[in-house]
């Protein structure tokens, strides 16, 4: 049985680079091309709708397309602000420039020269992306299991104050793995009367994640 490939999104404005990316990644990932245009919100929504496992974003989106008024770091930061801890990477020929942006994790900035046939760094890059996805999925799975355990205990017993706080924290984290934009602030969830609603919401979130 053929191994199921992770879905890797590619956001770039330059067709030659897109072709290089496809050639480099296609044996290891299911590639989804995200078309760039001058609307940040729509690009983010396209990424969310694509149900990706990770995305590689070109830094200089404006370099070959005068219709775009922002670079990839803007999309990167908007995306990681919406999806908690999502595996997103910046691909660039301008590592020093990209490193001066407000991207907090410089390990997510990757030189495009690594994506060449026979490149040792390229082999490591593919494994790095796969590992990032695997760890991300495992964290979510662990959060879900812990949350379900607390929900079960809540339904059959009484949670301690520490456990109640952890239930709220886990629910908030899982909401943000779907979309931070729609998450409910933790301070709104502390009333006992809201806990039952929270539990129902958490169960719905987990079902959505499983799909």
Q: Are 92 and 98 in contact (CB under 8 A)?
A: yes
199 CB-near residues (< 8 Å, 6+ apart): 151, 154, 155, 167
User: Residue 140 pLDDT more than 50?
Assistant: yes
- pLDDT averaged over every residue in the chain: 84
Say if residue 127 is exposed, middle or buried (CB neighbours under 10 Å; 0-12, 13-18, 19+). exposed
Residue 157, pLDDT score: 83
Give the model's pLDDT for residue 193.
Answer: 45
CA distance 9 to 179: 17
Set out the domains of the chain in order of their start, with CATH numbers. 6-117 (3.40.50.2300), 137-210 (no CATH)
Candidate from 14-23, 33-42, 73-82, 116-125 with smallest mean pLDDT? 116-125
- Say how far apart CA 73 and CA 83 lie, in whole Å: 15
Contact call for residues 69 and 37 (beta carbons, < 8 A): no
Higher pLDDT, 54 or 20: 54
Distance CA 41, CA 101 (A): 20
The predicted structure's pLDDT at residue 82: 87
Percent of the chain with pLDDT over 70: 83
User: Residue 189: pLDDT above 60?
Assistant: no
**pLDDT for position 192:** 47
* pLDDT at residue number 27: 92
What residues are paired with 8 via a beta bridge? 31, 54
Say what the pLDDT of residue 85 is. Answer: 87
Q: Are 84 and 173 within 8 A, CB to CB?
A: yes
The yes-or-no verdict on residue 135 having pLDDT over 60 is yes
Query: Residue 1 pLDDT > 70, yes or no?
Result: no
**Rounded Cα–Cα distance for residues 157 and 38 (Å):** 53
Q: How confident is the model at residue 195 (pLDDT cuts 50, 70, 90)?
A: low
- Conformation bin of residue 51: beta by default, left when phi > 0, alpha when psi is -120 to 50: left
Please give the structure tokens belonging to residue 187.
Answer: 């301070």
Helical spans, DSSP H, in the chain:
15-25, 40-49, 72-82, 95-99, 120-156, 161-179, 192-210
Kindly state the average pLDDT of the residues 104-126.
85
- For residue 60 the two structure tokens come to 């200089």
Per-residue confidence band for 211, with pLDDT thresholds at 50, 70 and 90: low
Phi, psi of 191 (to 5 degrees): -70, 135
pLDDT at 87: 95
Backbone angles phi, psi at 176, to 5 degrees: -75, -20
């Amino acid at each position: 049985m053929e191994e199921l490939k992770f879905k890797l999104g590619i956001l770039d404005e330059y067709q030659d680079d897109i072709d290089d990316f496809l050639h480099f990644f296609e044996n290891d990932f299911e590639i989804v091309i995200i078309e760039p245009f001058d609307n940040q919100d729509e690009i983010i929504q396209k990424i969310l709708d694509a149900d990706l496992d990770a995305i590689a974003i070109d830094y200089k989106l404006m370099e070959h397309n005068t219709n775009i008024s922002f670079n990839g770091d803007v999309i990167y930061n908007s995306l990681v602000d919406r999806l908690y801890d999502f595996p997103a990477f910046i691909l660039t020929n301008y590592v020093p420039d990209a490193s001066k942006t407000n991207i907090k994790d410089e390990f997510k900035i990757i030189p495009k020269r690594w994506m060449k046939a026979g490149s040792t760094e390229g082999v490591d890059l593919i494994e790095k992306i796969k590992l990032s996805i695997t760890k991300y999925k495992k964290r979510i799975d662990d959060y879900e299991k812990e949350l379900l355990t607390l929900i079960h205990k809540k339904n059959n017993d009484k949670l301690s104050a520490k456990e109640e706080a952890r239930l709220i924290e886990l629910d908030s984290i899982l909401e943000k793995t779907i979309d931070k934009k729609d998450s409910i602030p933790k301070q709104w969830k502390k009333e006992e009367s809201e806990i039952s609603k929270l539990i129902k919401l958490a169960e719905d979130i987990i079902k959505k994640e499983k799909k």
